[in-house]
Amino acid sequence: MNIESAKALITGGGSGMGREFVLNLAQAGATVSFCDVADEGIAATIAAAKDLPGKVHGFKCDVSNEEEVTKLISDAWAAMGGMTVVVNNAGIFRDGLLVKEDKESGTVKKMSLKAWNQVIAVDLTGPFLITREFAAKVIETKQKGGVIINISSISRHGNPGQSNYSAAKAGLIADTKLWGSELARYGIRVGAIAPGFIDTPILQGMRPEVLEGMLKGVPLRRAGKPHEIFLALKFIVECDYFTGKCVDVDGGLTL
């Protein structure tokens, strides 16, 4: 599939890598829809894309809400006159150790069920709902296939303080393989990208000494650029023989 002819939906497109995906796709001439939960993020992405060749549509949607996802797929499909690419990018963090003993009081602090459920809902249930509704729409409309890209993370290998996030991102890799197998009969390919440390507002907000310590474990000794993740996305879209696999873009980092 040529990137410039894509009709793409990006979840979490109001900031960070999601916005980078929207702008790069629009720069290539693709038609793009994106969703976010923040009105200001939606407005900022639309403003940033206003002079680009591709047309951009913004929608508000909580990807963990089944009714909102069903409406999003329908509305974005109508706005673009179809949909050929879906990027499951929306994600949140609620980091914390599973259990931690306070050295002074001896009390044990536990990761809350709320923190677990919030991350699983957005980072794993969200992609499930988006993928299910997109695939159903492709089948119902007799469209000739499509591409689904799940944004996982190097944390899928297990990162201390991220029981919830690591579980969600590992689950996305399992589903990538599974959905790639199940949906191939309908001409739908499924791929995943696992970024390492990427230069986004989250990293930019870290204390310099903390960030420097993190990057010492990266063989290339730097954070990745959002555009470098887009290059992996472009490869998956354009390589028609790719499905069911994950591309690691992490500077050689292994957790």
pLDDT digits (tens, 9 = 90+) for 73-132: 999 999 999 999 999 999 998 999 999 998 889 999 999 999 999 999 999 999 999 999
Helix (H, G, I), strand (E, B) or coil at 56: strand
State the Cα–Cα distance between residues 73 and 196, nearest whole angstrom.
29
Name the residues annotated as catalytic.
165
Helix (H, G, I), strand (E, B) or coil at 249: strand
- Within 13 Å and on the Cβ side, how many CA atoms surround 125? 14
State the Cα–Cα distance between residues 147 and 134, nearest whole angstrom.
10
Q: How does pLDDT run across 160-184, given as a tens digit for each residue?
A: 889 999 999 999 999 999 999 999 9
State the Cα–Cα distance between residues 6 and 42, nearest whole angstrom.
21
Q: How does pLDDT run across 134-165, given as a tens digit for each residue?
A: 999 999 999 999 999 999 999 899 888 899 99
Domain ranges in the chain?
Answer: 3-249
Contacts of 224 (CB under 8 A, 6+ apart): 195, 196, 197, 198, 199, 249, 250, 251
Domain 3-249 carries which CATH code? 3.40.50.720
Q: What percent of the chain is helix, strand and coil (3-state, nearest 5)?
A: 50, 20, 35
